[in-house]
Structure 1
Amino acid sequence: MTSDPRVLDRLLSLRLHQQSGRRAPHKPLLVLLALGRLISKGSSALQWSEARKRLSDLIAEFGPDSKTGRAQSAAYPFTRLRSDGVWTLNRDVPMDLVGPLTADDVVGQFDVSIEAALHKDRNALRSVARALVESQFPATIAPDVLTAAGLDPDEILYAPGQVAAPPRRRDPAWRAAVLRAWDRQCAFCGYDGQLGNASVGVEAAHVRWWAFDGPDSLDNGLALCVLHHKLFDFGALGLDATSHIHVSTAFTARTELGRAVYNLHGRVLRPRPGTLIPAVEHVLWHRREVFKGKPLAA
């Protein structure tokens, strides 16, 4: 597949700071950003002045809520990716410090051997990007992550090529079981469109993401319409421990249709008798790792 078969392993074996289910997509987002630059510019070289803005935007939009400053959030992966042996800086600056990065407008880029291998084999590049995004994000927002990183989702997600095998096997019956449990209608708004016998625009959503040990169990699933599934995975919508729907203060809308999302705030899930509601531990994981900011006032 590539002249250096270890390239994928090196880029897909990043040391991520994960503890108690906490998400840390910082390094994968930097790698995706560098891959996008490699495709568009012919080089992964990224100046700190640009990375500071683009990487911090990616982390703020697709990472968990954090009290760390935006520049500091970007400095962590920009300096620490060196320890994985896949990233170099043109200045020997200390780990995590924003000041030295800014003073010299430090340039970071892939290690020479990795950059050469990815230049030589576009399929390897696609495979790395796809495996990284699928290991960190659900399918609902993976295309948005790739687009924001400067990559074409169609080229990355649907082009043929080798992709690393997932560490766990998914239950192929889980989706159908979740839809049946919720009467094939959105648990948030009640939408239940069908075409013949097939549900259209209603999907099975993991509360705790599959990539972060979310099980294929009915107490980790909701039937959601396409819109509310995406808003749930983006963190605009969430739940509390009493099964009330929360809308984030980070979500805004101006039109009547968009503002209809506000009307979900405070509603309680009302499943049919016998349907398991999401387990509290999965709800709390989503609240901590995905939900953005604070809920609207009651």
Structure 2
Amino acid sequence: MCGTLDQYLSSFARIRVDRSRGSWTALTNRASPYKPFLLLSILDHIASGQITKNFIEPSFELTETFQEYIALLPHNDRKASMSYPFYHLESSDFWEMIPRFGEEHRKGRSISSMKRLRELYLGARFNKDLFMLLQMEHAREKLRAVLVQTYFSPAIQPTIWQQSMINCGSTKYAFGLLGTSEVDAGYLLRANAAECAAKVRDQGFRKAIVRLYAHRCALCGIKMLTSEGRTVVDAAHIIPFSENRNDHPTNGMALCKLCHWSFDEGLMSVDTHYDVMVSPAVKKDPNLPGHILTLSDRPIFRPTESRFWPAQESFAWHRKQRFRKRD
């Protein structure tokens, strides 16, 4: 298809979606929101500079953005997999799947998981003229508007618009923290106007830290991701943001849920040599600290670039203000 913006607006408004009776609520106009959410996620990644070429990879980052939209739906008990809309969007006239070499003969096989999708396909591409239109903000925002207005009720549309702003703003904020671009003040101003500046900062800090540590816990080294893009690590401030309003990566670490809680509670810290400290308090009855005790005196895992290593000044604050030196 070689189309104009008006033709693609029409195509976006006529995407084939599941309308099984009783499966979907009025918020999504009684239809599946998965394909619209996928397209909105891709538009966010194009707007924020994460996608610069006409190749849409089913990446963990794209999956995470897709899940941010899914989380907007109240009482959503479905295990939403991005594999379904990613694969079945090929029924539209603007989307082409790209099979892996040697897997072309399997095209058309059922795809039920992200693992299976990545095994058979490299990704997908838009029609060339559509991708060119998506590089232009005015065209991209018109296409975004038709998705929001066609597939979602007025009751949830403002929430979706806000999430789009948070997604784009937080990525630009993360790029600024990593020094790959300037922090986009315009996005932060718009976020302030929409009362979501804190979410932009929180999500941006998380993106920067998780990327630097490649989803690995700095204290115990565990790294676990689901095929749907969920990670075991959080982005933790060393000195709480409320204390010094410092989101720089040197005031953060990626920590698994247990290490994050232990660090915040002062049961773990880091010494001047970047080795793990474990408080004597963890051995107090009735605790059963398990592997936490084995982490004592082990070096922490740090980003590849030393300029992003956690600051010793931050650890000094934590040892003084949080770490439990006694049981």
- The TM-score, its normalising length taken from structure 2, stands at 0.39
Which of the pair has the greater relative contact order for Cα pairs under 8 Å at 6+ separation? 1
Normalising by structure 1, we get a TM-score of: 0.43
Higher CA-based Rg:
2
